[in-house]
Structure 1
Amino acid sequence: MKRHLLAVSTALSTIANAAAAQESFTLDPIIVSGGLTPILAERYGRSVSVITARDIEERGLVTVQQALRAVPGIAVNGAGASYTQVRIRGGEGSHTLILIDGVEAAGGDGEYILTGLETANIERIEVLRGPQSVYYGSNASAGVINIITKKGEEGFRYGGSVEYGAGWAVAGNLSYRDARGGISLGLARRDDEGWDYSGSDGEKDGIDRWTLQLAGDYEVADGLTLGFTFRRSEETYEFDSTSYVATTADEYVVDDPLPYSDRDEQTAQVWAEYETPDGRIVSRLSFERTDLDQSYDGGAPTETDSQAVKLRMTYGIDGPVDQGNHSITAMVEREEDSSSSSPDYTRDTVSFAAEYRATLMDALDLQLGVRYDDNSVFEDAVTWNAAASYSFDNGIRLHASAGTGVVNPSYFELFADVTYGTPPYATTYTGNPDLKPERNRSFDIGLEFPVMQGRGTVDVTYFNETLVDEITSVLVAPGEYSYINQDGDSDRQGVEVEGRFEATDDLTLRLSYTYLDATNPDGSVEVRRPRHELRLGASLNALADRATFSADARYVAGTFDSQYFGSYATAELPDYWVVDVAAGYQVSDALRVTARVENLFDEEYYDVWGYASRGRTAYIGVSSQW
């Protein structure tokens, strides 16, 4: 396997060197949803990566999990495809806030677990690394993933796709847009037959999911636009049992055809935005709601929901907001959430936030933010964020940021009063209503510089984060557990490298690398956070741009995980390489055929101890767009 990757690396290096003599060009700027209002990527001081619809199509990325694995600073792992967590810069999975069209994907106090979330009808995925609580509140302590769906282009458009391999998938979209607004509808269904997580070639654990997306906006009067988004998804997924008398990883996950889970997700948003005739004031009022219900083996579902009202106003100090060099934004937000797991309790927060942005000397950009959260059932919180970006005449850009984030205690941690099992083997959990929010403080500094005479860029960033008041369970009596805020710090630091190069007019090369050192307050290593993660990729256009070929290789090393078998030790997982390839051919202006292979070399590996990986799997598909 290693000789294959050595050949790939040598080829990429040779192509890059040859392309250095090519004529220079300028990469298109990207607008990201960083802060209280959008901002150009070249002016953004914080670390961000964007996965576009073109990236998704060229590389054959069919789930959000697959797309995120190519982003530096992110660890994506889980117990099979049905339970995948995302950790940014070594933070906990619950410290990453996942949004869909700006609305929280998880309801209540829950962490959003990625299962079959498909990329069909996604326009872009923005990954903001580092604390974002000033702008997005709790659970944005380590970063934010904002999934933005397609809203359609001007005119009447429609299209769809079909794919077959280890299961099948269909998707369709319909939209109309003119100068004043538009409406869009997206539908997707994927029935993935899955694989046997136990690795014994037994019953496959599949995922069946359908999703509906509806969005619209219209300028009803000059400067006044009304809009909405609505998303509904239902999913059933299967999983295997585990054995706590196992002595090896191969014995731990047991092939079991019975366990399954049902998920029902709904997110909705209605909004109104008004811009004054001179463009000096832009205001937005929105109402958002998230409902997520989940049940196991046909039992009663756990119902979680969140709803928020947000009022935001931006003032251009020296001219129109989108043209001036100085602006200030203020926001007031009220959010309430609940969970049927603790039906006697609700949590609500009233928040006040402000952000100042400035461009100085046409080279220096500043973003400063502060937020106060008035929490109803636990300690209030103040968070802040500062970022700067400076562009030199030679094309090098220096960016840096610092700030804080918070994660609120969960309902279970606050109010649990439950016993599992029967005496003498019963285990009781008791909540602690005196818990404080977990707090993260962070800084990073990076350089983005042009390479190959401007045909690409490389960004190298050092980050340092410290989590305090981390919540953990403790034994308070024989068979009884509760929760406390830990003493000491959980320290995380590392380096992120991201590069993209247009080696030729037809060949694009990609590179990302993450080094991470993450430890608990007692100095032990944090689990499920790779120390090294390297990704190499290439996309080639051929046959007069009618054909595309793409390959991505990922190397993961230095991952530790708890073994819930044998000695119950924390041990290092084996290193591994995985290679995926994809191809497409544009038969006509409206018709495209695709093919892709996951895990090309049929590598056997673990992301979590005991859970087998999927072997080599091939797919073919057809898509069209009018």
Structure 2
Amino acid sequence: MTSRTTPTPTRRLRLCRIALAIGAAMPAAALAQESASPLVPDAITLDPVVLSAGFSPLESLSYGRASTTLQGEDLRERGILSVRDALRTVPGIAVTATGPGFTEIRTRGAEANHTMILIDGIEAGAGDGQYILSGLDTATVERIEVLRGPQSVFYGASAAAGVINIITERRGQGTRAGFEVGNGAATWLSTGISGERGRLSFSGSARHDRGFDVSGDGGEDDAIRRNSATLSGDLNVTPDTTLGFSVRRADEHYNYDATAFPAADAAGYVVDSDDYADRDELGAEIFAQATTFDGRMASRLSWEETRLDLSQNGADATEAKTRALRWRGIVGIDGTAADATRTLALALDRRKDENSLSHDNERRNTSAAIEYRAALANGVDLQFGLRHDDNDVFGSKTSYALAGSWRAPGTPWRLHASAGTGIVNPDYFELLGGFGYVGNPNLEPEENRAFDIGVEATLAGGRGRIDLTYFNERLKNEITFSGAALPDGTNFFNEDGTSTREGVEIAGSYDATGAVSLGATYTYLEAFNADGTVEARRPQHKLALNATARLLDGRATVSGDVLHVRDSYDQTFFGSYGVEELPDYTVVNIAGTYDLNDRARVTARVENLFDEDYSSSWGYANQGRAGWIGLESRW
């Protein structure tokens, strides 16, 4: 069994105090910079709705769970053209990469497959595996919503730690198109038409990134090429009934380097090679929604299908598929479903997944859920959800979600808190094995139990905002891989005891002047296995800073982003097969835009400005300095 060593957390209490002190100091700093300049707006614009906040959207100030919304326009202005780089700026999210074609997302120290990724509300992962978002760019993204904490009540298994919903542009009118060149080339298009009866939208992008040598040995670059297209539309059959659809197709080709097992050291683990893989994706949905009983009830029936095919070095593809029939009903208790202060939501799901690793076995899950929301007096909002899952392989499980928000009357302060449970079923590889490893058919589902509590404040007359959240999560039955065969002959086992994860998340923004905007996020995390050893690929400290200046009467912008990561560990593949601390690193990116006129914009960006040599995974190199220049037009 793979052995692990534990860094002693002797600084734990002191670092927690430091994190809390930072959170306390940031509001004071923002207030101290208040200015009476007429160029400063009266208030910053906060996104009013979280679309993924349960069975229906919810105003952000009423939402009790920890969440972050990233606007696509803001990301592109800052030169953040990949989804994975956008997520690096989010508190509580750790992003690790083993080359341009494989990226893992961990929410609050959880495993990578504990965060469900959606694209336009549809599961992006198929079968039972995690979705690999390495090639996704932000060129046609409208917004990205990140929900932290268990979301299994609303999204089922694999949402035990959080949900990321990537929402693409759905234009009703107009067109936006662009291209850029540099370390490769990319182009994109977003367009749509609309009328009184409906809408039809199309978005597509093609990107060929020349990449870099993943081995770091001076070999050939490992490139990635991705093409994607989304077509969606809806038709108002009657004033109260709408039919709609969405279809997304993507194909991806990427190169990667081989690994030497066991390796003598990190430098020898990844070896330059000509390996490659092809990934094909399909995500589709058809739906019908209607309001009845004079608007007191809103219903939605949908059919979803997701397919992922992965082929390595030209071999037969591994095929994964998920199909789901979903019904949602929202009832307004004291008004219409759209305007009531109290609502009751009911949900029924029938889901089936399959994977070519298991030719004679499918997994079916039937679930029923209920959610109650209430907007009470004195700024109090409550949300409660309960879900029961009946899986034909893993039996019955019940999960819950509870959240609350209180906006103190007459003050800029808001308190928010949530608690809940989440479930993750073992995947086919863990159960059945493959690639020389032996699966364990006796594995039990992992169960996450969590809570968080935080305070949010609007500062400096509405020009600033800060949010500080403490979170605590406990994972039971964590599934662990062992490189050496266990006594039962398998390579996977459920850990005895409870894995622990806790920490602090801080997010702040401030409009220093009408032309300068500042932002910062910080995450402090302690994540340990049930036996007390440190969890790999979960940085203890992550700090992200950004600044944007608008120049020439708003026609030009200059942006800078800084990411600093400290105290991260990863699994080693030599000696004791334990864990090793990775070097700390700081990466700086800069970007600029210039509006030629009201329809055309020139863009430029440099990633890893100071050519930092760093690694987020043991033995793997990361992208060095790379530059891009582009042109975007709207009409």
Q: Name the TM-score, length of structure 1 as normaliser.
A: 0.93
Which runs of 5 or more residues in structure 1 are unaligned? 1-11, 421-427
1:311 aligns with 2:327: yes
Q: Is 2:76 aligned against 1:67?
A: no
When residues 241 and 430 of structure 1 are mapped into structure 2, their CA distance, relative to the original with a 3 A threshold, is: closer
Secondary structure of 1:461's aligned partner: strand
User: CA offsets, 1:374-430, max 9 Å, x none?
Assistant: 1001131100000000001212000000000000111233344x573xxxxxxx514
Shift of 1:246: 3.2
Give the letter aligned to residue 46 of structure 1: R
3-state secondary structure, aligned to 1:481: coil
1:443 matched to 2:451? The reply is: yes
Which of 347, 366, 371 matches 1:355?
371
Write the distance in 2 (CA, Å) between the matches of 1:26 and 1:620: 30
Bigger drift between 113-122 and 202-211 goes to: 113-122
Deviation string, structure 1 residues 255-282 (Cα, Å, up to 9, x no partner)? 11x2000000000000011012622110
Distance 1:483 1:196 in 2: 32
**C-alpha displacement of 1:208:** 0.7
For the 8 Å contact 1:29–1:42, the answer to whether it is kept is no
Which residue in 1 is equivalent to 2:264?
247
Q: Determine if contact 1:285/1:310 at 8 Å carries over to the other structure.
A: yes
1:305-360 deviations in Å (ceiling 9; x for gaps): 00000011010000012222100000100000000011110000000000000000
Counterpart check, 1:196 vs 2:205: no
Q: CA-to-partner distance for each residue in 1:60-84, whole Å, 9 max, x for gaps?
A: 1111101100100000012122111
Contact 2:30-2:510 within 8 A present in 1 as well: no
One-letter code aligned to 1:378: F
SS at match of 1:56: helix
2:64–2:403 CA contact under 8 A, matched in 1: yes
1:499–1:511 contact (8 Å) kept in structure 2: yes
Deviation at 1:478, TM superposition (A): 6.9
Among 454, 459, 462, the alignment partner of 1:454 is 462
> Partner amino acid for 2:584?
D
Change (3 A) 1:319 1:591: same
Number of the residue aligned with 2:240: 223
Query: 543-552 or 405-414, which moves further after superposition?
Result: 405-414
Partner of 2:6: none
SS of corresponding position for 1:480:
coil
Give the AA of the match of 1:507: V
Distance 1:605 1:508 in 2: 29
Match of 1:596 in 2: 605
SS at match of 1:318: coil
* SS of alignment partner, residue 412 of structure 1: helix
The answer to whether structure 1 residue 279 and structure 2 residue 287 are counterparts is no
Give 1:482 deviation, angstroms: 4.6
AA at the equivalent of 2:376: L
Provide the residue aligned with 2:10 in structure 1.
none
C-alpha deviation, 1:179, in angstroms: 4.0
For residue 481 of structure 1, what is the amino acid of its counterpart? T
1:30 aligns with 2:48: yes
2:255 aligned to which of 225, 228, 238: 238
Aligned-residue offset at 1:173: 1.8
- Show the 5 A alignment for 1:26-65: 27-32=45-50, 33-65=52-84
Aligned residue in 1 for 2:523: 514
In the alignment, the residues of structure 2 paired with residue 337 and residue 592 of structure 1 have an alpha-carbon distance, to the nearest angstrom, of: 44
What's the offset of the Cα at 1:559? 0.1
Q: State the alpha-carbon separation in 2 of the partners of residues 620 and 29 from structure 1.
A: 30
1:213 positional shift:
0.6
Tell me the distance in 2 between the aligned counterparts of 1:175 and 1:293: 29
Give the superposition deviation at 1:435: 2.7
TM-score by length of 2: 0.92
Contact 1:74 1:87 in 2 (8 A): yes
Mapping of residues 61-460 of structure 1, within 5 Å: 61-153=80-172, 155=173, 157-256=174-273, 258-276=274-292, 278-392=294-408, 393-416=410-433, 420=436, 429-432=438-441, 434-460=442-468
Shift of 1:568: 3.1
Give yes or no for contact 1:21–1:452 (8 Å, CA) kept in 2. no
- Deviation, 1:486, is 2.1
Q: Which position in structure 2 is the counterpart of 1:468?
A: 476
- Aligned to 2:490, what secondary structure does the other structure show? strand
Q: What is the DSSP-based 3-state SS (H/G/I as helix, E as strand, rest coil) of the residue aligned with 1:380?
A: strand
| Separation of aligned partners in 1, 2:303 and 2:252 | 26
Stretches of structure 2 that go unaligned for 5 or more consecutive residues are 1-26
The answer to whether the 8 Å contact 1:449/1:458 transfers is: yes
1:243 offset after TM fit, Å? Answer: 1.7
Kept in 2, the 8 Å contact 1:214–1:229? The answer is: yes
Identity between Structure 1 and Structure 2 (%): 46
Structure 2: how far apart are the matches of 1:16 and 1:449? 11
Contact (CA 8 Å) 2:432, 2:438: kept in 1 or not?
A: no
Q: Work out whether 1:492 is the aligned partner of 2:492.
A: no
Inter-partner Cα distance in structure 2 for 1:477 and 1:325? 55
Distance in structure 1 (CA, Å) of the matches to 2:439 and 2:508: 48
Classify 1:356/1:15 alpha carbon distance in 2 versus 1 (closer, same or farther; 3 Å). closer
Conserved 8 A contact 1:409-1:437: yes
**Alpha-carbon deviation of 1:304?**
0.1
CA distance 1:296–1:308, shift in 2 (3 Å) = same
Please give the secondary structure, in 1, of the residue aligned with 2:154: helix
- Once residues 452 and 17 of structure 1 are traced to their aligned partners in structure 2, the CA distance between those partners, rounded to angstroms, is 8
Q: Which amino acid aligns with 2:326?
A: K
1:145 is matched by which residue type in structure 2? I
Report the Cα distance in structure 2 between the residues aligned to 1:477 and 1:133, rounded to whole angstroms: 31
Residue 566 of structure 1, CA deviation? 4.8
- Which residue of structure 1 aligns with residue 533 of structure 2? 524
CA distance in 2, matches of 1:295, 1:306: 18
Structure 1: distance between partners of 2:56 and 2:314:
43
Q: How does 1:613-624 map to 2 (within 5 A)?
A: 613-624=622-633
Matched residue, 2:570? 561
